[in-house]
């Protein structure tokens, strides 16, 4: 049996993934430290929980956030977690892409209204997502 088509699909997915990582790396906020970004995680998790629990959140947004949570907790990844630095990177890429989509779908005012943290944290999140 000819499996060259499968290798082509795997190669294309890998190339797209590398391109996404490169784009996120190039457009990351330069004036932000890793520590600042890590401090955002609890507020982002509370934001996601609040959006999922609120029935007024559009269904598409709730579905996207649900898929994001499943992706993050799933043991199946494009890049295995045991690979240093690169392992968790696929989760970060998916999280940023989903949160960018959610931000654009809800709008900055609605997202700010639901933000559970400090205004400085929301400003940092906006810089990351824009």
- pLDDT tens sequence across 5-56: 778 777 777 777 677 666 666 666 667 776 777 788 889 989 999 999 999 9
- Can you give the pLDDT at residue 34? 66
Residue 91 has pLDDT above 70, yes or no: yes
Average confidence (pLDDT) over 88-106: 86
| Average model confidence (pLDDT) across the chain | 82
CA-based angle 121:122:127, to the nearest 5?
A: 100
- Can you give the pLDDT at residue 20? 65
Give the residue, 110 or 14, on which the prediction is more confident: 110
Residue 84 has pLDDT above 90, yes or no: no
Q: How far is residue 48's CA from residue 69's CA, in Å, rounded to a whole number?
A: 9
Q: Which residues contact 39 (CB under 8 A, 6 or more apart)?
A: 121
Q: How far is residue 16's CA from residue 37's CA, in Å, rounded to a whole number?
A: 25
Q: How far is residue 97's CA from residue 105's CA, in Å, rounded to a whole number?
A: 12
Has this prediction a pTM greater than 0.75?
Answer: no
Residue 114 has pLDDT above 90, yes or no: yes
Per the listing, tokens 């929301």 go with: 122
- Can you give the pLDDT at residue 57? 95
SS (H, E, C) 26-48: HCCCCCCCHHHHHHHHHHHHHHH
């Amino acid at each position: 049996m000819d499996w060259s088509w499968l290798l082509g699909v795997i190669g294309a997915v890998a190339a797209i993934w590398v391109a996404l990582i490169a784009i996120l790396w190039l457009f990351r906020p330069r004036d932000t430290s890793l520590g600042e970004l890590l401090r955002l995680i609890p507020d982002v998790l509370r934001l996601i929980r609040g959006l999922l629990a609120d029935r007024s959140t559009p269904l598409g947004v709730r579905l996207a956030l649900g898929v994001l949570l499943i992706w993050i907790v799933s043991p199946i990844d494009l890049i295995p977690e045991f690979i240093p630095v690169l392992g968790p990177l696929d989760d970060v890429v998916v999280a940023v892409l989903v949160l960018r989509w959610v931000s654009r779908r809800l709008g900055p005012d609605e997202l700010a209204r639901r933000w559970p943290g400090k205004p400085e944290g929301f400003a940092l999140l906006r810089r990351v997502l824009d």
